[in-house]
Structure 1
Amino acid sequence: MKHISLLAAAIGAALISGCNSDTKEVVKEVEVIKEVAPEEVTSVKNVILMIGDGMGPQQVGLLEDYARRAPQSTYNSKGNKTAISKLGDAGQVGLSLNAPWGNEGSLVVDSACSATQLATGMASGSEMIGLDNQGNKVATILERAKAKGKATGLVSDTRLTHATPAAFAAHQPHRSYESAIAAEMIDASVVDVMLSGGAREFIPSDAASNETVKTSLTAMGAPAAIVKKSKRKDSRNLLAEAKDNHGYQLAFNREQLNAADGERLLGLFANSGMMDAIAYDACAKTDSCTEPSLREMTLKALDILSKDEDGFFLMVEGGQIDWAGHINDAGWMLHELLRFDEAVDAVYEWVKDRNDTLVIVTADHETGSFGLSYSRKDLPEAQSLPGDGMQGADYKPAFNFGSLNKLDRLYAQTGTFYNMMDMVSADWTFDGTTGDDWAAAINHYSDFKVTAEQAAPVALREPNEYWVDGHSYLSATVFPKVNDFKEFYVYADEVHANLIGRALAADQNVVWGTGTHTAAPVPVFAFGPYGVTKQFSTLQHHVELGQKMAKALLGEE
Structure 2
Amino acid sequence: MSAWCCVVIIVTSISTGCLSPAPMNAEIKETYDRHYWYAQAQETLQKRLQYATGKNPVAKNVILVVGDGMSLTTTTAARILRGQRRGQSGEDTDLVWDTFPAVALAKTYNVDAQTGESSACATALLCGVKARYETLGLDAGGRFNNCASAINSKVTSLIDWAHEAGKSSGIVTTARITHATPAALYAHAPSRYWEDDSRVPPTVRRDCKDIAMQLVENEPGRNINVIMGGGRRHFLPTVTADPEHPTREGRRLDGRNLAEDWAREKKRRHLRAQYIHSKEQII
Name the CA distance, whole Å, in 1 between partners of 2:255 and 2:66.
Answer: 33
Q: Distance in 2 between matches of 1:149 and 1:56?
A: 33
CA distance in 2, matches of 1:175, 1:94: 27
Q: Which residue number corresponds to residue 138 of structure 2?
A: 131
Q: Which has the larger radius of gyration?
A: 1
Contiguous gaps of at least 5 residues in structure 2: 1-52, 143-152, 197-209
Matched, 1:234 2:254: yes
Output the TM-score relative to the length of structure 1.
0.33
Letter in structure 1 aligned against 2:248? K
Q: What's 1:256 paired with?
A: 281
Task: Give the partner amino acid of 1:204.
Answer: P
Q: Write the deviation string for residues 417-439 of structure 1: whole angstroms up to 9, x where unpaired.
A: xxxxxxxxxxxxxxxxxxxxxxx
Deviation of 1:203 after TM superposition, in Å, equals: 0.8
1:419-430 matches, cutoff 5 A: none
Is the contact made by 1:127 and 1:174 (CA closer than 8 Å) also made in structure 2?
yes
CA distance in 2, matches of 1:71, 1:45: 36
- Which residue number in structure 1 is paired with residue 216 of structure 2? 186
1:86 is matched with: 96
Alpha-carbon separation, structure 2, partners of 1:162 and 1:62: 26
Q: What amino acid is aligned across from residue 110 of structure 1 in structure 2?
A: E
RMSD over aligned CA atoms reads 2.5
User: How far does residue 95 in structure 1 lie from its aligned partner after superposition?
Assistant: 2.7
The answer on 1:224 being equivalent to 2:249 is no
Partner SS for 2:106: strand
Contact 2:108 2:130 in 1 (8 A): no
Question: Does the 8 Å CA contact 2:108/2:122 hold for their aligned counterparts?
Answer: no
Between structures 1 and 2, the one with greater helix share: 1
Contact 2:237 2:249 in 1 (8 A): no
1:192-231 per-residue CA deviation (whole Å, 9 max, x = no partner) reads 11111100001112113xxxxx7xxxxxxx4236x82212
Q: 1:45 aligns with which of 56, 60, 65?
A: 60
Residues 108 and 125 in structure 2, CA contact (< 8 A), matched pair in contact too: no
Query: Residues of 2 paired with 1:163 and 1:43: CA distance?
Result: 30
Deviation by residue 1:353-380 (Cα, 9 ceiling, x = unmatched): xxxxxxxxxxxxxxxxxxxxxxxxxxxx
Are the aligned partners of 1:131 and 1:137 in contact in 2 as well (CA < 8 Å)? yes
- Taking only the aligned residue pairs, the percentage that are identical comes to 29
- Say whether 1:198 aligns with 2:231: yes
* Aligned position for 1:16: none
CA contact (8 A) 1:169 1:191 kept: no
Structure 2 match to 1:403: none
Post-superposition shift, 1:71? Answer: 5.8
User: Helix, strand or coil for the counterpart of 2:229?
Assistant: strand
- Whether the 8 Å contact between 2:80 and 2:93 is mirrored in structure 1 is no
2:82 aligned with 1:67:
yes
**Structure 1 segment 506-525 matched on structure 2, within 5 A:** none
Q: Report the Cα distance in structure 2 between the residues aligned to 1:125 and 1:252, rounded to whole angstroms.
A: 34
1-structure distance, mates of 2:72, 2:165: 35
State whether structure 2 residue 180 is matched by structure 1 residue 163: yes
Pair 1:245-2:265 in alignment: yes
* Structure 1: gaps of 5 or more residues: 1-37, 74-79, 209-213, 215-221, 259-557
SS in structure 1 of the partner of residue 99 of structure 2: helix
Matched position secondary structure for 2:154 = coil
Q: 1:147 to 1:94 in 2, by over 3 A?
A: closer
Instruction: Figure out how many residues of one structure are paired with residues of the other and give that number.
Output: 197
CA distance in 1, matches of 2:118, 2:156: 18
Runs of 4+ residues deviating >3 angstroms: none
Which residue identity is paired with 1:138?
A: V
Residues 119-140 of structure 1: CA distance to partner in whole angstroms, max 9, x if unpaired? Answer: 2212211111111111201111
Deviations, residues 272-311 of structure 1 (Å, cap 9, x unaligned): xxxxxxxxxxxxxxxxxxxxxxxxxxxxxxxxxxxxxxxx
Query: Are residues 72 and 196 of structure 1, via their aligned partners in 2, closer, same or farther at CA, if it must alter by over 3 Å?
Result: farther
Residue pair 1:206, 1:235 contacting (<8 A) in 2 also: yes
Per-residue CA shift, 1:34-64, capped at 9, x if unaligned? xxxx933343222221111111112112222
TM-score using structure 2 length: 0.63
Q: CA deviation at 1:89?
A: 1.0
Distance 1:64 1:197 in 2: 30
